Chains A and B, each alone.
Chain A
């Protein structure tokens, strides 16, 4: 199917009563849908006392605090917020790139070679997708620590391992549908397998590359438990970890700063979505149908 068809629905006929009613209905529903997120934006501008006393009120002269919450969120604690932002961006982008680079090759290899080990690996990938994170919650950090992977560089390797299941799965689905003749021709023409992969196979895999990158980006950017458990906490934090830290105990919850940090964490991913909407939609569909 094509994503283009999806984003171009049939136009409403004029005077279609049922259609208009549905439009009204969906408009109302949309407002209800946006409301919880709007609530965060509104409250991020209010003082913490006002947030708690009247969460639904718009900021007024008494409760409006401008960007104070944002400044508090950035400055709070001993760990400057810009560092978390940098680490979040780095970890998300580097991990996704690494996953794309390695799993695409891997999927092509295991499908074309198709040895017993390849089939076993494929099966393990499938199993890994249903394993709840709780199963490895306490052992993974130990492994990561021992292998010196508990830093923003190393965690990309962890994400490669964890993201491999899904990515190999998706790439395999696509590779299987590709005719092998083109590659074989390239090989016969004297290309080495790496050349063949990057010159011939990868361009064909492009739609799946987009799907995989979107699914992995969304997962890694929002992930909390894995980086929280794995990263060396004396040095590194990501945005979700720091949001959770602001929720620190003994009556010190700064709910205003928390709202502001949430706004910070939402904006990049929403911008990403609005820019790449078409790709995301086709990515999800591919993710659902392939495999």
Chain B
């Protein structure tokens, strides 16, 4: 008898497991098919919490379920690739620009006739081809060289400094002078180095292989009067090298050690006043301000000068690599729910407040509130002062593999285990090779 009970129990266990499996997922699919739902797969971990909160607020207000998932670092593309073919696919995802879009076009809903598109302050913030609007930029970001105002003021006030005010820094040479003098007198200033560590770990290497590489690329495009290319010439690579050397030789750590330094390291060095300069952008403010860190009004930002003729007029690097795309293969109800959600985000008081004050975004929408981000304010002021913003042309870089090659060459050069000509090969020849691979 006992055995029979045991037998029965074991069958029950097997059945219940399979049944539960079936039920659990049936409930997911069944309950919301009528009203539509939103599943947002996003790739900015620093804003994960804010999106979660915003999603909750929307669900509370409208009853429409919104799920926000942030993909782990370096895995966004593969996660998206994997998720998008599932039955519960993301209804809202991101691409980083025209290159990213190329893969995802078949999955992009045409946003031309949507309220979201109408809300854009200018059509230039949309990813368009002819009449089709594939994606819409939702955040405009700016980067440059963030500096610690208190420490820099100490430098200006010091007896040994040769530049005495902020307006004395107007091109590469003047900036390099400041950097070198600070590095020489780092003990007097009580710091570990002029620059934070240029970490080439994957949590930080994008600052140099992508964002810094934007500078030589931008000037080449300007000189040649183009906006993208199949074969880059590398006209300003020597300037790239000069700036890279400046970062490496005047930093908190020896140049041989950057490979294992992380984004957190640089962030901590800057936040605790161990370094004066930190190449990063508006998104980094939250991480370096707060208790035991800097205060928001201690932050300033300078353009990245690389020693090009006429760079006194150059401003900060401003652009977007964050475009919203709506999954065209989602159900009609889900697409509508997603569009409604997005409209709410960019027009409602809750939404615009969250964007401007929680995420500190500058957004290109008509009803946008002013961002509280201190660096955004400086960037706006620079534009008013007649400085020309540097465009984000890194979105035209042919592939991730290209960026990785450049990053590896930067690291090897820094460590002394590789030559600069390897970087030139990776940059120029690699561009052509990767471009051909991508474009067939």
What residues of chain A have their CB less than 8 Å away from a CB belonging to chain B?
48-49, 52, 77-78, 94, 97-98, 101-102, 138, 141-142, 145-146, 148-151, 153-154, 156-157, 194-195, 198-199, 229, 232-234, 244-245, 247-255
Contact = CB atoms under 8 A, between A and B. Distances in A.
Interface string B345-389: 000000000000000000000000000000000000000000000
B14 A102 contact: yes
A81 B4 CA distance: 40
B311 to A, nearest CB: 27
A57 B36 CA distance: 54
A229 B18 contact: no
Nearest to A102: B14
B79 A248 contact: no
Given A48-B264, A157-B18, A244-B72, A250 B85 contact: no
Contacts of B73: 247-250
B240 to A, nearest CB: 22
Contacts of B22: 148
Interface in B268-296: 268, 272, 280, 283-284, 287
A20 to B, nearest CB: 41
Interface string B54-89: 000000000000011110111000010011011110
Given A78-B48, A78-B52, A253 B82 contact: no
Contacts of B206: 250
Contact of B26 (A148, A157, A199, A254): A148
A249 B45 contact: yes
Main secondary structure of the interface of B (DSSP, over half): helix
A78 B49 contact: yes
B264 A255 contact: yes
Interface residues of B, number: 54
Contact of A233 (B7, B83, B284): B83
Nearest to B90: A234
Contacts of A234: 39, 67, 69, 88
Nearest to A229: B82
A149 B22 CA distance: 8
Nearest to A50: B268
B17 A142 contact: no
A255 B21 contact: no
Given A49-B272, A151-B21, A249-B73, A232 B3 contact: no
Given A141-B86, A253-B264, A150 B25 contact: yes
Main secondary structure of the interface of A (DSSP, over half): helix
Nearest to A151: B24
A154 B3 contact: no
A132 to B, nearest CB: 17
A183 B4 CA distance: 17
Contacts of A250: 44-46, 73, 203, 206, 263, 283
A251 B46 CA distance: 9
A260 B204 CA distance: 22
A194 B280 CA distance: 67
Query: Which 8 residue pairs are nearest across A and B when measured between Cβ atoms?
Result: A251-B263, A249-B73, A148-B25, A154-B21, A248-B45, A153-B21, A78-B52, A145-B86
Contact of B3 (A98, A149, A195): A195
Most buried by A among B18, B21, B70, B287: B21
Contacts of B13: 97-98, 101
A94 B48 contact: no
Contacts of B267: 251
B262 A251 contact: yes
30 contacts: A48-B264, A48-B268, A49-B272, A52-B261, A141-B86, A145-B87, A148-B24, A148-B25, A149-B21, A150-B86, A151-B21, A153-B20, A154-B24, A154-B25, A195-B4, A198-B3, A229-B82, A233-B79, A248-B70, A248-B72, A249-B45, A249-B72, A249-B74, A249-B263, A250-B206, A251-B204, A251-B263, A251-B287, A254-B264, A255-B262
Nearest to B192: A53
B25 A151 contact: yes
B340 interface: no
Contacts of A102: 14
B10 interface: yes
Given A250-B46, A252-B45, A252-B46, A153 B24 contact: yes
Contacts of B4: 195
B353 to A, nearest CB: 20
Given A247-B73, A249-B73, A251-B262, A77 B49 contact: yes
Contacts of B262: 52, 251, 253, 255
Nearest to B264: A253
Given A253-B262, A254-B264, 4 more contacts: A77-B48, A194-B7, A247-B73, A252-B45
Most buried by B among A141, A149, A244, A253: A253
Given A52-B264, A234-B88, A249 B202 contact: yes
Contacts of B203: 247, 249-253
Contact of B10 (A101, A141, A145, A245): A101
Given A195-B3, A198-B3, A233 B69 contact: yes
